[in-house]
Amino acid sequence: MMESASILSNDESDALRGPLQLGPVTIRNRVFLAPLSGVTDLAFRQRAHAHGAGLVVSEMVASGELARGRAESARRMRRPEIDVHMVQLAGREAHWMAEAARIAAGAGADIIDINMGCPAKKVTGGYCGSALMRAPDHALALIEAVVAAVSVPVTVKMRLGWDETALNAPLIARRAEEAGVAMVTVHGRTRCQFYKGQADWRAIARVKQAVGIPVVANGDVTNAADAAAILKQSGADAIMVGRAHYGAPWVAGAIAAGRDGRPGALEDYVIDHYEAMLSLYGIEHGLRHARKHLGWYLDRHAGQVAPEQRKAIMTGTDHRAVIAGLRAAFRAEKGVLAA
């Protein structure tokens, strides 16, 4: 990752380091960790926060499942040891969205975020996520129900629209503001683009021009150079970083602080994260859940590991053997670790 201080101007750097106020909630800086389903669990958010991310968002929590007391939803919602706890809810029914918001706020959520941006077919097929952008009136009914249900700030994360023929993010954002939403985050793609092509940062500016509340720009930010460009092109108040965190929970904090935030003792760091996931999920489920994270760490920081060594780490069923394999892989890689 590039050295942030060498890319961001003094004004841009100061803007990102400065706090952002949402009602009674003070967000310490303006570089956020995006909600990533299956990734930004409690263990991951704790690490991103410790590295200096201004705001970290939970994995998407299904509102109906949370309201019905499902253990997985409750685990996704759990508050880490952080100063501002933001829970993202997804759903299509106002009743369940409001009930889930009350549960989340009662369990310590400082901010409730409404998912109107997820492009996954299993989400949009249930008329949730970015599918809500095809039905603005229905989306507003959900927003109004959540705002009425809680006293904490409510935010919305969306895309530019469903497809290129319906770029309605400015309209929905303006209506959301009128309904009481405190902040909107916009990913610079349509739902139909998924993650293909390049995010359109200039299109986010149209949302910024349509509202008076803070706008967060999201999509393809990987380093300080991207942060500078997205701020300039979108005029946004803050930025959100997602997939760049794969194998690097420190990216948002590093951009905000203007430094390379990678831990020095990377071997110990990866193993500590691995053990935290085993503790969170239990050994059996933790072994499976951790594999994608270990794959990202190996790809990003130990690319020279032998194929058979990587396979043993990725498929191992004895966590002690996996830890031993990680130590061997990272020790062999010392001196050539990727940023």
- Give the residue ranges of DSSP H helices in 211-282: 224-234, 251-257, 266-281
CA dist., res. 116 & res. 139, Å (int): 8
Nearest one of 131, 68, 118, 52 to 88, comparing CA atoms = 118
**What residues contact 99, with CB distance under 8 A and at least 6 apart?**
63, 67, 149
- The residues with which 61 forms a beta bridge, in sequence order, are 89
Tokens of 108: 């310590």
DSSP string, 135-192: -HHHHHHHHHHHHHH-SS-EEEEEES-SSTT---HHHHHHHHHHTT--EEEEESS-GG
Active-site hit among 61, 118, 203, 276: 118
Query: CB–CB of 51/261 below 8 Å?
Result: yes
Q: What are the start-end ranges of the E strands in the chain?
A: 20-22, 25-27, 31-33, 55-62, 86-90, 111-116, 154-159, 183-187, 215-218, 238-241
Q: State yes or no: is 118 an active-site residue.
A: yes
Residues paired with residue 31 on neighbouring β-strands, in sequence order:
239
263: how many CB neighbours lie within 10 A of its CB? 15
Distances (CA, A) of 287 to 80, 194, 320: 21, 29, 11
CB atoms within 10 A of CB 294: 25
Exposed, middle or buried: residue 174 (CB in 10 Å: 0-12, 13-18, 19+)?
middle
Residue 300: φ, ψ to 5°: -85, -30
Angle at alpha carbon of residue 261, lines to 58 and 32, rounded to 5°? 30
Catalytic positions, please? 118
